[in-house]
Structure 1
Amino acid sequence: MRTNSADGSAFKSPIRTTLLASLVALASVAGSAQQTEEFDQRRQLLEAPPIPMPRGIEYSDAESRDPEMRRIVRYDPETGRASIEEGSQLPPEGNLFAPPYVPGVSAVPDRDDPEHAEAELDGLRGGTPPTPLSNATTYPWVSIVKLVMRFGNFFYNCSGFVFGEFQVVTAGHCIYNHDPNDDGSTADAAWADEVWIYPAQGDVALPAWNGGLAHSSDQPYGPSKMVFMRSYTGWTVSQNLDYDFGSITLDRRIGTYTGWMGMEATVASALNFSGYPTETPYVPSGTPLQYFGFDSGNVNGSTSFRIGLDAFIYGGHSGGPSWRFSSPNRWVEGVHSTSNRVGAAEDTRLNQTNIDNVIAWAQDDENVRPPFARPELVEYTHASGQKAISKTLVGRGEPIVVDYNNYNAGFANTGTITNRFFFSTNGIISDLDTLADTSLDAGLSPNTFRTASEAMTVPPLTAGTYYVGWISSSAVPEYSGDATCTNDPCSNVAILPTPVTVENCDADGYEDDDSSGQANLLGASTQSRSLCETGDEDWAFFNLAESSQVILQTDGPAGDTRMWLRNAGLSQIEFDDDGGPGLFSLIDRFCGVDPLPAGLYYVQIDEFGDNNIVQNYDLDLDVVACSLIEIFSDGFESGDLSAWDASVP
């Protein structure tokens, strides 16, 4: 089969992607050189451009059956050495398969589904072009992974799918690239130096992806890391697209959390497809989302090695799966290899040789390089609403409460968790930011999460906008290679969804007191207070044991206050705006005129207009019992009554 694109060229011949046109421009970040370097690394990982489409060579099926093409290449990144072993014989094609695994579900292979089952799409209808998927934490989407590969100084993205407890299947050109610098020469052909694997990346938890913020895409299971890779000499030596196929061995058993789809050597008439494209203009620049698609009858032909698809597959989809949905199971039949971006694509077929080898490779990994169980702290992003801050407009020193979370996506207990909370001017939460508070939490078992709240005060910051986040560290060392680590042991970095505005105002020592339920006791001593952000109110209360004369007053260098006097039921007794000095407030109740009877009283104060700061003002309460005034009225002038200012009973 050779299907041609609209311009007449075989669509095995890919369109060259210019690296410069695909790279996402790095934002200019204020702050230290260390923060800028850290930000750049995260951006390279989060927004790596798609790997250039392979410039493969077309071979006939007979040529591809040459045993020299089928030899297996094994690459160990620790030694930097590749070894070659003999490949297996090509078995006859048939209805052969490897079963799926869904965590918590018994997936029984069903080989007798009616033909129309091939047109099912997991309850979703993709269409053309493919549809973005914000939440990829459900099966089978959770088993489809984003890859970020580093070839020297070049970072690229691809896709893949989990098969086995710690294996991922992908395209050969994603892990062994013949032209990683995309200059048209194969002189720099090489295996990837590093590969990060992100299952179920999406955009559920806030802040939503915005094309710029460093912490803005969800990575529900954190990053797994490549420890071993395999492909075929047909790809690494001969650039034969029929062998554009590879596998990655991981440093953890992430498949036990994600599950995996089955694999089969047959070819259906219609296939679902998905992956993580990042190629503009087909998807938004830097998008973190998985894009899936389906069209009835979209398989236009196949050979022993390739599957032709009428599908809109873009750069970054490479390595992703094409599968048949046969309820309740899914069966992968192809791996995305090449595309002309406008509706014609080809997969490397999961023929029985590939299936047999993947199964054998998984067993070899289990025998030779089983993963060591470690914890992995990440932000819990499987659902929204797991983090919050009590206020977004504050003064310095003002109390706030942060709701935060931790998820152990690893396979060992974390030990004690240290959470450090920071205010950052640029959205890069790191040790270089202003530390606000530290909390200690008990350890988390594998695959468990916790939400908690931490009370703290706003640090003495320059007025401005800040991002608030936390760095969590486990007592037990985590997996290495986490690109978001900022200290040792490895740390999880999270950021709250909404920036906080810190005003040029120092909160008083009575905050929080924005409601009657938070009111502070008002006694004979002057209270020094401030009104900072919009909506800030000061509440106080006092008790009278008997009918009394009461004088309430605000005063200060500058400001305009309003004051309410309320009873125990919060009904207004009296209000004053500018009865005190300047634009400050005064409420007075005199014996013989309008004394206050015994009881509980509340005082409410705000800034007139609720749009300016009152940097500091004094609140005074003078109380004299009317019975005392009657006894001593002959011996004192009215101005002397202040000598009897009484503390609140």
Structure 2
Amino acid sequence: MADQLDESVSNGAADDTDDQETAETGPAPDESVDTETSGGAIEPGSEAIEDVDGYRPLTRSTGGGGFQPESAGGAETADPTLDDYRFDIGNASFGFGPETVHGMDDRVQIRSPRTANYPWRVHSSLLIKAADNSNWIGTGWFISPNVLITAGHVVHINGSGVPGRDGWVNQIRVIPGRDGNTKPYGEATSGTFYSVRGWTEHGNPEYDYGAIILDTPLGNRTGWFGFGTYSDNDLENVTANISGYPGDKPSGTQWYAARKVDSVGPRKVFYDIDTAGGQSGSAVYRIKGGSRYGIAVHAYGGAVVNSGTRINRAVYDNMKAWKTNHAL
């Protein structure tokens, strides 16, 4: 590892395991992804945003515009356990902070039945039960049939001040493509998690990333995203996309927004994309050559820009190892 704080750790056994473009790809069109329902045509070679009812990011200086959500899909029988999960997992480690919407909110809801389509089904609503059995929400995204990436503070709580709460969470329910009570791919429950020592031992926000391992290949039905490490100059010209499950919107609904990257650091990517608590762990991804690649893991809000843990070489190596070592 380039940095000892990036050493992989787990609530089970630990793994022993320069900016250059390196990428792990997602599935080919004939692997899990229905090209007729892939979320909009993406021209090969393009840097793009998703095709959502003509969505375009608002111009901050004018504050005009807005979006028309798609029509709602059919309702399903309510799952009473969903009501137990409403608060952002970030609050467990950091307390209740301000929302991270800057000016007019330009997120757009992705509704059922579209959440059952690629790429929206790659994003998963996470229902988290902490060590003290308190309940929380977050977001994760598939990088393989049974591995999801999320924020480190989703799988391991630090500094809560509540007896028995800190440390690895007990379990996480993973619900891909969820829309309220609608769960198009059902759900899977995990008790196997990874992060790195920089987060679990030091609570350093520059190391705030982790993984969820499933014992079933649910991702074969949803598809997954690639991920890559890219140069500063490349990332500064990238249009970043984020979709996830914020706690300031109706429970379990998915919301999307996009905007050009604002700036990058060695371990962080900054962007003025509206998010809110509950979206921790969302993919910050680019669309390149018709495919989607994670460039960061959304983790924090800010007064002017929000930020995610950059997929640098060390992060990439851990993600690849988690994916490879747990392949089903």
The alignment's TM-score, normalised by the length of structure 2, stands at: 0.74
Identity of aligned residues (%): 24
Whether the aligned pair in 2 keeps the contact of 1:103 and 1:256 (CA below 8 Å) is no
In structure 1, how many angstroms separate the alpha carbons of the residues matched to 2:214 and 2:15? 21
Whether the aligned pair in 1 keeps the contact of 2:6 and 2:314 (CA below 8 Å) is no
Residues 102, 141 of structure 1: CA spacing in aligned structure 2 closer, same or farther, 3 A cutoff?
Answer: farther
2:178 corresponds in structure 1 to: 201
1:149 and 2:128 correspond = yes
Residues 166, 106 of structure 1: CA spacing in aligned structure 2 closer, same or farther, 3 A cutoff?
Answer: closer
Q: How far did 1:104 drift?
A: 2.4
In structure 2, how many angstroms separate the alpha carbons of the residues matched to 1:351 and 1:237? 20
1:130 corresponds in structure 2 to: 107
1:225 corresponds in structure 2 to: 189
Q: How far did 1:119 drift?
A: 3.7
1:310 corresponds in structure 2 to: 272
User: In the alignment, residue 141 of structure 1 is paired with which amino acid?
Assistant: W
In structure 2, how many angstroms separate the alpha carbons of the residues matched to 1:106 and 1:191? 32
Q: How far did 1:273 drift?
A: 0.7
User: In the alignment, residue 117 of structure 2 is paired with which amino acid?
Assistant: T
2:281 corresponds in structure 1 to: 319
State the SS of the aligned residue for 1:274.
strand
1:289 corresponds in structure 2 to: 253
Whether the aligned pair in 2 keeps the contact of 1:224 and 1:250 (CA below 8 Å) is yes
State the SS of the aligned residue for 1:230.
strand
1:166 and 2:146 correspond = yes
Whether the aligned pair in 1 keeps the contact of 2:190 and 2:213 (CA below 8 Å) is yes
Q: How far did 1:72 drift?
A: 1.1
Aligned counterpart in structure 1 of residue 293 of structure 2, from 296, 317, 331: 331
Alignment of 1:615-626 (within 5 A): none
In structure 2, how many angstroms separate the alpha carbons of the residues matched to 1:196 and 1:218? 15
Whether the aligned pair in 1 keeps the contact of 2:199 and 2:205 (CA below 8 Å) is yes
1:175 corresponds in structure 2 to: 155
User: In the alignment, residue 272 of structure 1 is paired with which amino acid?
Assistant: N
In structure 2, how many angstroms separate the alpha carbons of the residues matched to 1:84 and 1:125? 43
In structure 2, how many angstroms separate the alpha carbons of the residues matched to 1:186 and 1:98? 40
Q: How far did 1:133 drift?
A: 1.0
2:7 corresponds in structure 1 to: 71
State the SS of the aligned residue for 1:292.
strand
In structure 1, how many angstroms separate the alpha carbons of the residues matched to 2:184 and 2:199? 33
The alignment's TM-score, normalised by the length of structure 1, stands at: 0.38
Q: How far did 1:198 drift?
A: 0.3
In structure 2, how many angstroms separate the alpha carbons of the residues matched to 1:173 and 1:160? 12
Whether the aligned pair in 2 keeps the contact of 1:199 and 1:219 (CA below 8 Å) is yes
In structure 2, how many angstroms separate the alpha carbons of the residues matched to 1:221 and 1:357? 27
Q: How far did 1:304 drift?
A: 2.1
In structure 1, how many angstroms separate the alpha carbons of the residues matched to 2:314 and 2:148? 17
In structure 1, how many angstroms separate the alpha carbons of the residues matched to 2:163 and 2:305? 26
1:272 corresponds in structure 2 to: 241
User: In the alignment, residue 135 of structure 2 is paired with which amino acid?
Assistant: F
**Structure number having the greater strand percentage:** 1
Whether the aligned pair in 1 keeps the contact of 2:194 and 2:211 (CA below 8 Å) is yes
Q: How far did 1:278 drift?
A: 1.1
1:556 corresponds in structure 2 to: none
Higher RCO (CA-CA < 8 Å; seq separation 6+)? 2
State the SS of the aligned residue for 2:315.
helix
User: In the alignment, residue 47 of structure 2 is paired with which amino acid?
Assistant: E
Structure whose CA Rg is larger: 1
Number of residue pairs the alignment of both structures matches: 263
State the SS of the aligned residue for 2:323.
helix
Whether the aligned pair in 2 keeps the contact of 1:102 and 1:260 (CA below 8 Å) is no
2:326 corresponds in structure 1 to: 365
2:202 corresponds in structure 1 to: 238
Residues 326, 191 of structure 1: CA spacing in aligned structure 2 closer, same or farther, 3 A cutoff?
Answer: same
In structure 2, how many angstroms separate the alpha carbons of the residues matched to 1:315 and 1:304? 24
Unaligned runs of at least 5 residues, structure 1: 1-63, 77-82, 204-216, 371-649
Unaligned runs of at least 5 residues, structure 2: 34-42, 58-104
User: In the alignment, residue 282 of structure 2 is paired with which amino acid?
Assistant: G
CA-based RMSD of the aligned residues comes to 2.5
In structure 1, how many angstroms separate the alpha carbons of the residues matched to 2:274 and 2:244? 12
User: In the alignment, residue 354 of structure 1 is paired with which amino acid?
Assistant: V
User: In the alignment, residue 169 of structure 2 is paired with which amino acid?
Assistant: A
Residues 142, 106 of structure 1: CA spacing in aligned structure 2 closer, same or farther, 3 A cutoff?
Answer: closer
User: In the alignment, residue 198 of structure 2 is paired with which amino acid?
Assistant: G
1:120 and 2:49 correspond = yes
1:262 and 2:255 correspond = no
1:189 and 2:166 correspond = yes
